[in-house]
Chain A
Amino acid sequence: MRRARRFAGHHLLTLVALLGFIYILAPIAVIALFSFNDPAGKYNYTWQGFTTQYWQNPFDIPALRDALITSIQIALLASIIATVLGTLISLALVRHAFRGRGTTNLLIFLPMSTPEIVMGASLLALFLNLGVATGFATILLAHVVFCIAFCVVTVKARLVGFDRRLEEAAMDLGANEVRTFLRVTLPLILPGVGAAALLSFALSVDDFVITNFTHGTVVTFPLFIWGAARVGVPVQVNVIGTLIFLVAVGIMAIGVLVSTVRARRDRALAERAAEAH
Chain B
Amino acid sequence: MSEIDVRLRDVTKRFGEFVAVDDISLEIPRGSFFAMLGPSGCGKTTTLRMIGGFEEPTAGTVLLGDQDVSDLPPYKRDVNTVFQSYALFPHLSIADNVGFGLREHGVPKAERTARVGEALELVDLTGYDTRKPRQLSGGQQQRVALARALVNRPRVLLLDEPLGALDLKLRRQMQLELKRIQQEVGITFVHVTHDQEEAMTMADQIAVMNEGRIEQLGGPTELYERPGTAFVAGFLGVSNLIAGRLDGTDVVTADGTRLAVAAGALGGRTGAVRLGIRPEKIRVADGDAPAGAALVGTVREYAYVGVATQYVVDTPAGEIQVFHQNATPGVQVAQPGTRVTLTWDPQATFLVEGETE
How many angstroms from the CA of A168 to the CA of B101 in the assembled complex?
A: 12
User: A166 — which chain B residues lie within 8 A by C-beta?
Assistant: 87, 89-90
How many angstroms from the CA of A149 to the CA of B319 in the assembled complex?
A: 69
Contact of B137 among A172, A175, A274 (CB under 8 A): A274
Contact of B74 among A171, A183, A269, A270 (CB under 8 A): A171
Contact A168:B131 (CB < 8 A) given known A173-B100, A273-B137: no
Interface members, chain B 100-152 (any A CB < 8 Å): 100-101, 104-105, 131-132, 134-137, 139-140, 148-149, 152
A170-199 near B? 1/0 per residue, CB < 8 Å: 111111100100011001100000000000
Whether a CB of chain B sits under 8 angstroms from the CB of A96 is no
Given contacts A168-B83, A184-B89, A266-B134, 12 further A-B contacts (CB under 8 A): A166-B87, A169-B81, A171-B74, A172-B53, A173-B100, A173-B149, A173-B152, A266-B135, A270-B134, A273-B135, A276-B137, A277-B137
How many angstroms from the CA of A276 to the CA of B80 in the assembled complex?
A: 29
Some 27 contacts from A to B, beta carbons below 8 A apart, are A165-B83, A165-B85, A166-B89, A166-B90, A168-B81, A169-B83, A169-B89, A171-B74, A171-B75, A172-B52, A172-B53, A172-B54, A172-B75, A172-B80, A173-B75, A173-B80, A173-B152, A174-B75, A174-B105, A174-B152, A175-B100, A183-B100, A265-B135, A266-B132, A273-B136, A273-B137, A277-B137
The residue on A at minimum CB distance from B85 is A165
How many angstroms from the CA of A166 to the CA of B145 in the assembled complex?
A: 12
Contact of B87 among A165, A175, A176, A265 (CB under 8 A): A165
Whether a CB of chain A sits under 8 angstroms from the CB of B165 is no
B74 touches A277 (CB 8 A): no
Whether a CB of chain A sits under 8 angstroms from the CB of B59 is no
How many angstroms from the CA of A276 to the CA of B136 in the assembled complex?
A: 11
A269 touches B91 (CB 8 A): no
Interface size counted on chain A using CB atoms at 8 A: 25
How many angstroms from the CA of A166 to the CA of B133 in the assembled complex?
A: 13
Which 4 residue pairs of A and B lie closest in terms of their CB atoms, listed nearest first?
A: A173-B101, A174-B104, A269-B135, A169-B87
Whether a CB of chain A sits under 8 angstroms from the CB of B256 is no
B45-56 near A? 1/0 per residue, CB < 8 Å: 000000011100
User: A188 — which chain B residues lie within 8 A by C-beta?
Assistant: 90-91
How many angstroms from the CA of A208 to the CA of B60 in the assembled complex?
A: 62
User: A172 — which chain B residues lie within 8 A by C-beta?
Assistant: 52-54, 74-75, 79-81, 149
Whether a CB of chain A sits under 8 angstroms from the CB of B73 is yes
A270 touches B105 (CB 8 A): no
Interface members, chain A 219-277 (any B CB < 8 Å): 265-266, 269-270, 273-274, 276-277
B90, B100, B139, B152: residue with the most chain A Cβ atoms closer than 10 Å: B100
Whether a CB of chain B sits under 8 angstroms from the CB of A163 is yes
The residue on A at minimum CB distance from B145 is A169
User: B104 — which chain A residues lie within 8 A by C-beta?
Assistant: 173-175, 179
The residue on B at minimum CB distance from A263 is B134
Where the two chains meet, the residues of A that have a C-beta atom closer than 8 Å to any C-beta of B are 163, 165-166, 168-176, 179, 183-184, 187-188, 265-266, 269-270, 273-274, 276-277
Contact A170:B137 (CB < 8 A) given known A165-B87, A176-B75: no
B91 touches A270 (CB 8 A): no
The residue on B at minimum CB distance from A167 is B87
The residue on A at minimum CB distance from B79 is A172
Whether a CB of chain A sits under 8 angstroms from the CB of B170 is yes
How many angstroms from the CA of A184 to the CA of B80 in the assembled complex?
A: 17
User: A175 — which chain B residues lie within 8 A by C-beta?
Assistant: 75, 100, 104
A176 touches B170 (CB 8 A): no
User: B131 — which chain A residues lie within 8 A by C-beta?
Assistant: 269
A165, A173, A188: residue with the most chain B Cβ atoms closer than 10 Å: A173
Contact of B170 among A168, A169, A174, A277 (CB under 8 A): A277
B73, B75, B105: residue with the most chain A Cβ atoms closer than 10 Å: B75
Interchain nearest-CB distance for B123 vs A (Å): 14
User: B52 — which chain A residues lie within 8 A by C-beta?
Assistant: 172
Interchain nearest-CB distance for B167 vs A (Å): 10
